[in-house]
Structure 1
Amino acid sequence: MRVSRAGRGVVAAGLTLGLLALGGNAPAYAVDQVCENIASDQPDVLATERTGSPVQLMQVARAQEIAAERGRVPGAGVTVAVLDSGVADHELMDVVRPAGRPVRALVDHQGTSMAGLIAAQGTAEAPIGIAPGATILDVRVYDRRDPDDTSDEVGPRADLLLEGLRYVAGLPRGDVGVLVVGLSFARTPELDADLREVLADLSAKDVLVVAASGDRPTEESDALYPELGYDGEEPPHGEDVRPVIWPAAHPGVLAVNATATVLVEEEVVVDDADDDVLRSSATDLAAPTADAVSVAIDGRSTCLLPDISTIWAAAEVAGVAALVRSAFPAESARQVVARLESTATGSLRAATVLTGHGVVQPVEALTRPLRPTAEGDVGGTQVVAEGDQRAVAPQPKADVLASTKRNAVWWGLLAGGALIVAVLLRPVLARRRD
């Protein structure tokens, strides 16, 4: 029987709990340092000592080493706008906020967790954020995912997200290099029209926009459950949520899905992500998320993100985009997207509803010799799908002087023959004259 995201997404943490039940020596941090369980007033500093599974799978340490060899701190010079529940000031990352906006106490860890995946400083051997040199711009668009009925906290709303997008679009060109959204709403023509307008402004400012392609709703209280919830054991056959999910489905957005791949005791475990994520033909890239390490809302601790979620995947791809933009500062957002898509695992195959062009590969994006055009075209070899073809000799070019050459040969033969006859007849004719 298949279980829900909440029940089976905790791959590594679940294994640790099993070891504890059997009397094993599993470390306590695997159980009690999940990011959502840490409050902003956490009294003690909690340190997660493991290296996150996603950064190992994506070879982030090597990518950061490559960036450092080029004389740049990974992500340096790039600001990433995080439009979510707010980002805590944390000693492991550089966070700035829009001037003049009210600062309220944080109640939801999601925005901080996203920011940590992007830019938290770890060590050379155990990275946390993918682009630790980047600056996080905290654009808070809601307070809590599920506010109480009596609470005055603001929940996620599409109009507030649009307001945040417009704020970033209004900043001077160059202030923000990457923007990431973890929220998903039901798509409407009105929202599409508003998004099209603001994305045009963001494109004019050369901002690369990343968004989560959408987690699968599993509870009736989930916002998109009426449209995307299901009672069976399998997702609907032929599912494609592109007409349903906003803003990730818009063509001006880099839509990111999550894979179920995870490292367990240094072995790669690949599972089915259908219970956790939605299938969408709008998907551009994917990233692994289970058992990630990020920073906590208390501003001092590190913590685990055990679930498979497109929210964390979007943050990771935003981090990779910041890393690549830092390494190639002269390239536009469109050129960076071309690098990410053309170097992803599976990029030579047709895009799929679960992984798009493939799983993002930071090392390949930094090292493959590409020269994307301003339109985002990387050229390269075309793949022929007709199967193996035997080599054949090249066809000779047509000779337009062939007939002339043939006539010249015949005339030459005739002239030569006449000459020979004349030579043979010359003695006979000479005797007659005598």
Structure 2
Amino acid sequence: MIPTRRALAITLALTALLATAPAAQAADTPQHPWYFDTLRVEEMWEHAKGEGITVAVIDSGVDSSLPELEGRVLEGADLTGRAEGAHVDTDGHGTHMAALIAGTGDGNGIRGIAPGVKILPVRIVESGDFSISGVARWVEGIQYAIDSEVDTINISGTREDIIGAAGPLSEMAEEAARQGILFFASVGNEGERANTVQPPASLDGVVGVGAVKSDGERSSYSTSGAHVAIAAPGNGVPAYCGDLGGSLCLIEGGGTSAAAALASASAALIWSQHPDWTKNQVLRVMLNTAGRSDDQRRDDFTGYGIVRPDRVIIDGEGNPGDPDSPPIFRDWEAALVPPATPEPTPETAPDDSAEPAPGPEAEAAATSDDSSPLPWILGGTAVVLLVGLTGWLLLRRRA
């Protein structure tokens, strides 16, 4: 009897394995990476795809000729000085980030998780090495995105050499916050070396994004620290194995660059479903619905947890809260000084020869000013007249 039971158990186990293996293999492909199941991406698309949201990808340009990006890329700007255009990407990094956000999958290309998003390409480098670009170009690129009234800024790169000269970038982060723009940046891939978050992710007002693997654990390369606000998939992400437009493969160590792009796409999905929300509300629900493996509020490895836009879009979870209260950077935003506005022109004495006499509306407005003595004067006069009239009537009656 024992051998029979053991044989039956083995048979059942093999049957289960054979039944599940093809499905698992089919799910983990460049067209359907693991996080499509974890985030219930295709179910989210029944409710929102990112329509009406624009994400600025400040990077190496975006090749809009790829089938999966056709019609998704705005004109943008090329700030490299080569005047080749923002749709030129000789490196492929910016195109990869844009596809992870908004790729439609057409032509067997990359499927992003927010295919309804519009991408604003801002080309500030010719390669994925962001350190070759001067601070002024970064500032110009962020300013261009702000002036273009984007909803979200994505920078999948860091600059170690500008830590001591991050003032101009900090000013751009402040301006983005004032304009209601969400600003995401990768925290870097120095987790096994220096392990120090670099700008722009280290700046106040910028949401630093770390990377995780399919098991939900932090990717070993993902830089940790107090500036990590949230995490997103960084391993097992689709990419072109060679030249853009060639065959796709899964990159085991995609990096925090991919994580930042997927965090930006997650915000876009939420915002497209709730277009009346502010950046504070979008970020708040991202943080309070993020996936965490324990009860800690946050840690230095994955921040407040792993992005789960599906919990907001499908399950209706997350309290957006006060539209004007930021969930993080609260003291920093409270201290922001509003942009300077021109002083009003001092009023001059009325010139009867140049201006017509004020009409009834102007007179009525003048009497409503609490600082003006006019109501009191008129009131006093009315009292005197009323008293005089009353006395006269009494005298007539007595007479």
TM-score (norm 1): 0.60
Deviation at 1:343, TM superposition (A): 0.6
Please tell me whether the aligned partners of residues 176 and 207 of structure 1 are also in contact (alpha carbons under 8 angstroms).
yes
- Among 167, 170, 174, which residue is 2:144 paired with? 167
- What is the identity, as a one-letter code, of the residue corresponding to 1:81? A
Paired with 2:126 and 2:191, the residues of 1 have a C-alpha distance of: 20
Residue of 350, 359, 371 corresponding to 2:297? 350
1:255 to 208, 230, 233: 208
Change (3 A) 1:143 1:60: same
Tell me which amino acid in the other structure corresponds to 2:142: L
Deviation at 1:356, TM superposition (A): 0.3
CA offset at residue 202 of structure 1?
A: 1.4
> What is the CA–CA distance in structure 1 between the aligned matches of 2:135 and 2:78, rounded to whole Å?
22
* C-alpha displacement of 1:203: 1.8
| Matching residue within 170, 174, 181 for 1:200 | 174
Report the residue type matching 1:285 in the other structure: I
Question: Where does the alignment leave 5 or more consecutive residues of structure 1 unmatched?
Answer: 1-26, 31-47, 68-73, 148-153, 219-224, 229-238, 263-268, 379-434
Q: CA deviation at 1:212?
A: 0.1
- Pair member with larger Rg: 1
* C-alpha contact (below 8 Å) 1:128/1:294 kept by paired residues: no
Asked if residue 334 in structure 1 is aligned to residue 280 in structure 2, the reply is yes
* Distance in structure 2 (CA, Å) of the matches to 1:271 and 1:205: 34
* TM superposition shift of 1:253: 0.6
1:83 to 49, 54, 58: 58
Contact persistence 1:178–1:318 (CA under 8 A): yes
TM-superposed CA distance for 1:189, in Å, is 6.1
- Specify the alignment match of 2:3 in structure 1: none
Q: Deviations over 1:175-211 (max 9, x none)?
A: 3111100111126565332122112221222211000
- Larger proportion of helix: 2
- Counterpart in 2 of 1:235? none
CA distance in 2, matches of 1:127, 1:88: 13
Cα distance in 2 for partners of 1:177, 1:333 equals: 8
Paired AA for residue 135 in structure 2: A
Runs of 4+ with deviation above 6 angstroms: none
The residue type equivalent to 1:130 in the other structure is I
The correspondence for 2:76, drawn from 80, 95, 98, is 98
Partners of 2:101 and 2:243 lie apart in 1 by: 15
Residues of 2 paired with 1:127 and 1:62: CA distance?
Answer: 18
Alpha-carbon spacing, 1:187–1:368, altered in 2? closer, same or farther (3 Å): farther
Partner of 1:290, secondary structure, is coil
Q: Distance in 2 between matches of 1:349 and 1:55?
A: 26
Matched, 1:289 2:234: yes
TM-score, with length taken from structure 2: 0.65
Structure with the greater relative contact order (CA < 8 A, sep ≥ 6): 1 or 2?
A: 1
8 Å CA contact 2:30, 2:239 repeated in 1: no
Tell me, in whole angstroms, the C-alpha distance in 2 between the residues paired with 1:288 and 1:81: 20
1:131 matched residue in structure 2: 114
Question: 2: CA distance between counterparts of 1:191 and 1:54?
Answer: 37
Q: Distance in 1 between matches of 2:233 and 2:163?
A: 32
Q: 1:64 to 1:52 in 2, by over 3 A?
A: same
Unaligned runs of 5+ in 2: 1-24, 328-399
> Which residue of the partner structure matches residue 92 of structure 2?
109
Q: Deviations over 1:121-157 (max 9, x none)?
A: 139xx9821110001111011011469xxxxxx9344
Task: Give secondary structure in 1 for the equivalent of 2:142.
Answer: helix
Percent identical residues: 26
Alignment correspondent of 1:314? 260
Measure, in 1, the Cα distance between the counterparts of 2:150 and 2:308. 23
**Could you report, residue by residue, the CA deviation over 1:345-369 in whole angstroms, capped at 9, with x for unpaired residues?**
1296221111000001011122215
Q: Which residue of 1 aligns with 2:46?
A: 65
Q: CA deviation at 1:314?
A: 0.1
Q: Measure the CA separation in 2 of the matches of 1:217 and 1:353.
A: 11
Report 1:360-399 matches (<5 A): 360-366=307-313, 367-368=316-317, 370-376=319-325
Cα distance per residue 1:209-259 (max 9 Å; x no partner): 0000111277xxxxxx7xx1xxxxxxxxxx6x25xx111011201110001
* Map 1:12-23 → 2, pairs under 5 A: none
User: How many pairs align?
Assistant: 287
Letter in 1 for 2:67: E
State the distance in 2 between where 1:334 and 1:350 align: 18
Q: 1:376/1:157 Cα in 2 relative to 1: closer, same or farther (>3 Å)?
A: same
Matched, 1:298 2:279: no
- In structure 2, the CA distance between the partners of 1:66 and 1:141, relative to structure 1 (3 Å rule), is same
Q: What are the equivalent positions in structure 2 for 1:18-33 lying under 5 Å apart?
A: none
Partner AA of 2:304 in structure 1: H
- Structure 1 position 278 matched with structure 2 position 223: yes
| 8 Å CA contact retained: 2:237, 2:254 | no
> Hey, what's the Cα distance between the residues in 2 that align with 1:206 and 1:277?
28
Please give the alpha-carbon distance, in whole angstroms, between the structure 2 residues aligned to 1:272 and 1:287: 9
Q: Which residue of 1 aligns with 2:33?
A: 52
Secondary structure of the structure 1 residue equivalent to 2:269: helix
In structure 1, C-alpha distance between the alignment counterparts of 2:217 and 2:303, rounded to whole Å: 17
Indicate how the Cα distance of structure 1 residues 99 and 254 shifts in structure 2: closer, same or farther if over 3 A, else same. Answer: closer
Q: 1:214 to 1:297 in 2, by over 3 A?
A: same
| Matched-pair contact (CA < 8 Å) for 1:88–1:297 | no
- Offset of 1:333 from its aligned partner? 1.1
State the Cα distance separating 1:77 from its structure 2 match: 0.6
Distance in 2 of aligned mates of 1:272 and 1:203: 28
Q: Is the 8 A contact 1:96 1:136 kept in 2?
A: yes
Deviations 1:287-312 (A, max 9, x none): 12222125686357644333141100
